[in-house]
Structures are given as C-alpha cells and as structure tokens.
Structure 1
Amino acid sequence: MLSKRVKYILLGLVALLVGYILYDASEEPGIDDLKGTYKEVAMYRNENNTGPIIRIYAVTVSDTTRWDEMRQYGDLMLYTKYGNTKVYFFPADKPAPLELFRKQPNFDRKFEPYCLALYEKDAMSQVTFRRKPFGTVQ
C-alpha cells in the first residue's frame, strides 16, 4: 500500500503532466498567428468517405505580397493521408469564387485572372506552391 505522501506526489506529477499537455497544445501555431488577413470564402469537400478525401478552399488575402505566409496558410489547412488539399488565394479587393467544384477547373473560369497562388498537397504528401497559376493577375 502506498503512503499518503507518495500518493500526493503521484497526484501532483499527474496534475503537472496534464497542465503541460494543455499548455503545449495551446501553443501550436495557427492561422490566427499569420500577419496577413486571410478569409475563407468557399470550401469543397467530397462526400466520399471510402476513398481519398478532397478538400478545396478559396481564400482572400489582404496583403498580396506575403508568398511565404500563403504557403504557411496552406500547410496549416486540414489534410488527410492519401487525400488532396488545394488552396486558391485571391486578393481581398477583387472578385473571388463563392462556389468550388471537384473537377477541374475547380471554380468558374472568370475568376482565374484574379488567382494569386495555388497551394496543393497531393496524395503522397508532396506540396506544390505556384504563384500566378493562371498567368498574370489583374
């Protein structure tokens, strides 16, 4: 049988461990830590839960010169192993799609001239980040 002192020490260690886990979880970087203003304006996720999960996002950006941050934003988005995640970035002051589709093109072609960048993480976890994927941005 353990003495009261040992029980209190063990209880204290458990409380300390739980406190550390909570602190560590709250310190994870997130989208709110990025300096630019990002707003998700459209999202698509396929309903097929037996195959690869496909996620497509359209996001507006206030600062259109923060390429590294756009890539970080993409890295922070949900991803499922063997799935695919795409994030299209658009300037906040220009038109952006409000509806996305699974098949290419993922949105109405009239928005292509406004697309700043495309972040994609494919089924093999390979990341590609392309600036101006449809040519010159208006």
Structure 2
Amino acid sequence: MKNKKIIFLVLIVLTLGFIIYDSTSIPGVDDLEGNFKEVAVYRNENNTGPIQRIYAVTIEGRAWDEMEKYGNLMPYTKYGTTTVYFFDASKPAPATLVPGEPNFDPTFNAGCLAVYSKDQNGEVSFKKSPFSAPL
C-alpha cells in the first residue's frame, strides 16, 4: 500500500513537472531571429463584430521565414483579420496605424519589406515587397 502511494506521488510530480515545462517552452516572438520590434498597433473597438488587428513591426535583415513565423504567432480571432507590416529597422516606420486602406501614411511604403495577413477564413498570405518591385 505504501509503495502505491509513493508511485502515485511520483507520477503526480512528474506530470506537474511536464505541464510546467511544456507551458514555459512554447516558442514566442522573442525566439525568432531578426530583432523584431513592434512600433505600432491598431485594434478596432468593435466587440460585436469582426476583430481587426494591424501591426507595424521593424526587423533587422530580410529573414522571410522568420517574418512569416512572426505573423503566425500573432493573435487571431475567428472571422477577424490580422495584418502585420514588416519594416526595415534602418528606415522610418509608422508610429500609428488606422483601419481601412491604406493602414499608414504612404511615405513609409519604401521601408515596408513584407506584409503578412490572415483573413476572416483563416487563410494566410505573405507578400514580399508589397509596395515596390520584388527584392
């Protein structure tokens, strides 16, 4: 009987240890290469309809795969939209974002490296050089 209690306690401790390890080892944006920095965020106030999220993020370099991973890690609400604009960290980036098109002052278009978007159906698109010829 005493052995069963010890085995049960060991199993509980191991299970709790695994749960803690698993929940703290989830990858996040800080784990990505490129030194991402969020410089502007917009989220609509409409809590009765689709949620619209727009982000402006700077990145050092052109790590396309990392940009797409970053976009996949951003919050998304079913039937809402999430858009992430990636800007060259060495160039100016918008400090404010607005709903509708365009989401920022067009003077920043030259510094936009890519745009990630996830639409109302959960479909993802990633476009390099959205405002100029491909890099």
Give TM-score scaled by structure 1 length.
Answer: 0.89
Listed as ranges, the gaps of 5+ residues in structure 1 are none
Q: Secondary structure at the residue paired with 2:127?
A: strand
1:30-109 aligned within 5 A: 30-63=28-61, 65-109=62-106
- Give the equivalent residue in structure 2 for 1:14: 12
Larger mean Cα displacement after TM superposition, 10-19 or 93-102? 10-19
Contact 1:113 1:136 in 2 (8 A): no
The superposition leaves residues 15-71 of structure 1 with CA deviations (integer Å, 9 ceiling, x where unpaired) of 2111101111122111111121110000001111221111100000111x2111111
- Provide the rounded CA distance (Å) in 2 between the counterparts of 1:99 and 1:93: 18
Query: What RMSD over aligned residues (CA atoms) do the two structures have, in Å?
Result: 1.5
In 2: Cα distance, 1:70 partner to 1:46 partner: 23
Report if aligned partners of 1:120, 1:128 keep a CA contact under 8 Å in 2. Answer: yes
Contact 2:42 2:55 in 1 (8 A): yes
What is the percentage of aligned positions where both structures have the same residue?
56
Q: Which moved more, 1:8-17 or 1:31-40?
A: 8-17
The match for 1:114 is 111
Q: For 1:136 and 1:91, how far apart are their aligned partners in 2? A: 15
Is 1:135 paired with 2:125? no
Once residues 7 and 81 of structure 1 are traced to their aligned partners in structure 2, the CA distance between those partners, rounded to angstroms, is 45
User: What's the TM-score once normalised by structure 2's chain length?
Assistant: 0.91
Count of residue pairs the alignment pairs up: 134
Counterpart of 1:91 in structure 2: which amino acid?
A: D
AA paired with 1:66? A
Q: Contact conserved, 2:33 with 2:63, CA < 8 A, in 1?
A: no
- In 2, Cα distance between equivalents of 1:79 and 1:8: 44
